Structure 1
Amino acid sequence: MIKRWTRSLSALTLIVLTGCSNGISPDRIVRILVSHDPKGAAVELVRDQGRYYATHPRAIKKDVAGFNRLIAKLTDNVHEVWGNKDNLIASRKTYVKYTNHYRTRAAINFQKGFVQVETLATVKPKRELQQAIVATLLTPDDPTKVDLFSDKAFILGSGKPFLYKQVLDQDHQPIEWSWRANRYADYLIKHHLQTRHVGYKKIWYVDFPMSKDSLKIREYRYSNIIRKYAKRYSINEALIYAIIKTESSFNPYAVSHANAYGLMQVVPATAGADVYRRIKKRSGRPTGRALLNPSFNIDIGTAYLHILKSVYLRKIRNPLSRRYSIISAYNGGAGNVFKTFSSRQSWAINRINRLSASQVYRYLTQDHPSLESRRYLYKVNKAEQQFKYLDTAG
């Protein structure tokens, strides 16, 4: 990873110029450093923020200093403890939380449906593991209360934990209270404790499954919020559900190297800023932390779907062709939807309107300039079918 980072120096020099004073969160730079393609992620950040640099030249010195500090902190806190081959960072469909000077971590894989808690502690590792299991089981339902990019412990909330009913104990009961979480942690350590070695380091860990209904539980948890904003912005509920499932697997803690946050993976500088300007009638953009709030995230994400539908893609006459275009644009931008059909927007719209919906779908899944966006339309369209019964908006 360090070598890959060094090779990305030219792109990262630009990142140094972006720093934290321009609104780019340290979280995003952390994710760039640990991503599989740091150079690509860095270039993406620069492209997103290019306009800022021209109007804020004084931010450069401050950003250089802040960035250097962040580099040192990252090296110490992530790579030095677990090594290059065994580091985990929170992502769209995986929650990862470090504690105990980064020597203990919990990972919840929402896509595969299992939890792993592990520690490198050399002093009383079982006790450390037990405490981490309890903390994981009682993780608060509010993602803004948990800092995924430090080892800072979070304060347990007073309401039902995030994993309530998503993880069942040895008696197949949901875990809401500390006593039950402690009892299940003791059970896991007694019956399912495992060890492995990475180099000279010994890792103590336990794996345990999420309930078979965990995805459905997360889906239902946000039903009232989705219904509210589907009605407000005239967007089908099924489409919102499908996007959330595809983007985050209903993980409100979701983050990505593309600086996208929360259930609908909203990017503050693009979709977030657009919604602020066009819908909220305010300047600036939402913060990453604010976008971890499920209600706010769904509000902003659904509002952006409304913008795509009523502003950028409004001239596409066929409703189904427009829906395919909206889905594709949510992932790759409206500009790339048009580029799929022509280098000129007006020509692209005319061409789309001459094609059948099935032809538009075929072009967007086969000829779109982004492979990710080609796959994205297929995934969302497929996911949407299972939520069709929820459609209430036009």
Structure 2
Amino acid sequence: MKKTWLTITACLLTVACSSTPTPDCIYNCAPSINIGNNNTNSNNNFGALTEPQRQALLKYLESQVKQQWGDDNYLQAGKHRYVKYFAGYRTRAHIDFDNGKIYVSTIANNATRHTLKQAIEETLLMPADPSQVDLFSDKSIPLNGKPFLLGQVKDHQNQDIQWPWRAGQYADYLIANKLKTQKLQRGTAYYVEIDMVEDHLEQREYQYADLIRQAAKRYDIDENLIYAIVKTESSFNPYAVSHAGAYGLMQVIPKTAGADVFNLVKNKPGIPTKEYLFNPANNIDTGTAYFYILKNRYLKEVQHPTTKHYTMISAYNGGTGGVLATFDVDRKQAMKDLNNLQPNQAYWALTNKHPKAEARRYLEKVLNFQKEFEAM
């Protein structure tokens, strides 16, 4: 019921829920435009990063940060953690989505309060579309459109923060009343700590209810599964990144799942850029389309629907090869063995015998979250 209300409310706020077309195509079809992509950000014209380029970018970021903060205070963005640097890498914002905390800090010696205030404002008003924000540099954040944190943070007057004047007022209040210091190897950090509202996770779920509903219908994938995957992968953090090079809400890796969706569903050459995958609509569409490929191509021979459901979830994390390797080194024999098992037996194998420990835990975690969403 709660999820239904979220979807209805999201539709009302966006004037009307758009119709949901069927997938563009699946195999060998004419070129088509992206499904559900209204993003016109010019950053999407950038070519996709190669793995060496991505690694070089991260190494440069690390070197710049450590030069300012020291080796012991290096912090980078993750799946459930937002980290953005500003002002010569001497100021940063850190959002801990698991614990509902926001930290904005600076080690700048000159104009400390002004620098900190600007970083607080940019953090509170950062856009809901992460493709506009460069997480891997110290560039400022463009403040336009609906703030991502709207509804997830209240100011000192218990008001939502949507406009620059209110963000500025709250920043002044925090600096005047909540400013803290911490001694570091290379000086002193000045910082403020902001508590997110108790239901911040639900507030983020609400933001993507309509996108998830549309993608589920478009690709005939269980809506509750998509919710469970997003919660597992990113805690509904659209800025999520991973050490493996995955981006966004559903943690899509451009060169694997992203490439498959482009080539098999979109009939587009190449792989998606990180800017493309940081866009929430693109990300949810791409992640759900990959489930469609798993269901109808890579795992189409799995006979029992419940067993197929388990293998799809496991393959989303550890690949189809990892699923089959759980049962036999020979892929054809593995499929035979899998189809000879009852769903509970297949589940036991995937959560106890899968070659990757992360994949064993992943299936159990996603299914538990899926049950939670089904009960709403």
Normalising by structure 2, report the TM-score. Answer: 0.85
Q: Distance in 2 between matches of 1:76 and 1:228?
A: 42
What residue is the counterpart of 2:108 in the other structure?
Answer: 121
In structure 1, what is the Cα distance between the partners aligned to 2:268 and 2:61?
34
1:101 matches 2:127? no
Contact residue 124 and residue 161 of structure 2 kept, 8 A: yes
Higher relative contact order (Cα pairs below 8 Å, separated by 6+ residues): 2
CA contact (8 A) 2:201 2:236 kept: yes
Structure in which a larger fraction of residues adopt helix:
1
In structure 1, what is the Cα distance between the partners aligned to 2:51 and 2:349? 36
Matched, 1:359 2:322: no
Q: Distance in 2 between matches of 1:265 and 1:368?
A: 21
Match of 2:312 in 1: 326
Give the match for residue 135 of structure 2: 148
Task: Identify the residue that residue 9 of structure 2 maps to in structure 1.
Answer: none
Q: 1:262 aligns with which of 217, 231, 248?
A: 248
SS of structure 1 residue aligned to 2:99: coil
Gaps of 5+ in 2: 1-45
The answer to whether the aligner puts 1:293 opposite 2:279 as a matched pair is yes
**Alpha-carbon distance in 2 for matches of 1:326, 1:367:** 16
Within 5 Å, give how 1:1-394 maps onto structure 2.
23-24=49-50, 28-29=54-55, 33=59, 73-74=60-61, 76-157=63-144, 159-388=145-374
In structure 1, stretches of 5+ residues that fail to align are: 1-19, 34-72
Return the letter of the residue paired with 1:154: I
CA distance in 2, matches of 1:179, 1:112: 27
Task: Answer yes or no: is the 8 Å Cα contact 2:105–2:189 preserved in 1.
Answer: yes
2:48 and 2:186 map into 1 onto residues whose CA distance is 42
Runs of 4+ in structure 1 displaced over 6 angstroms?
Answer: none
Cα distance in 2 between the residues matched to 1:258 and 1:31: 14
Query: 8 Å contact 2:85–2:93 — kept in the other structure?
Result: yes
Q: Which residue of 1 aligns with 2:16?
A: none
Deviations 1:40-61 (A, max 9, x none): xxxxxxxxxxxxxxxxxxxxxx
| Identical residues among aligned pairs (%) | 49
Secondary structure of 2:301's counterpart equals coil
Maintained 8 Å contact 2:61/2:136? no
Contact 1:238 1:384 (8 Å CA) reproduced: yes
SS in 2 for 1:257: coil
**Contact 2:62-2:74 at 8 Å conserved across structures:** no
One-letter amino acid of the structure 2 residue matched with residue 123 of structure 1: N
Tell me the distance in 2 between the aligned counterparts of 1:75 and 1:370: 28
Distance 1:319 1:266, change over 3 A: same
SS of 1:387's partner is: helix
Q: Deviation per CA, 1:216-264, whole angstroms, max 9, x where unpaired?
A: 1111111111111111111000000000000011011111110101100
Instruction: Report the count of equivalent residues.
Output: 331
Contact in 1 for aligned 2:125/2:149 (Cα 8 Å): yes
* TM superposition shift of 1:112: 1.3
| AA matched with 1:122 | N
What secondary structure is seen at the aligned counterpart in 2 of 1:341? coil
Distance in 1 (CA, whole Å) between partners of 2:52 and 2:188 is 31
1:7 match: none
In the superposition, relative to structure 1, how do residues 356 and 197 fare at CA in structure 2: closer, same or farther (>3 Å)?
same
TM-score by length of 1: 0.81
**Structure 1 position 160, deviation (Å):** 2.0
For residue 126 of structure 2, give the secondary structure of its aligned residue in structure 1: coil
Three-state SS of the structure 2 residue aligned to 1:327 is: helix
Aligned-residue offset at 1:28: 2.9
Give the alignment's Cα RMSD to 1 decimal. 1.7
1:25 to partner: Cα distance:
6.2
Distance 1:74 1:160, change over 3 A: closer
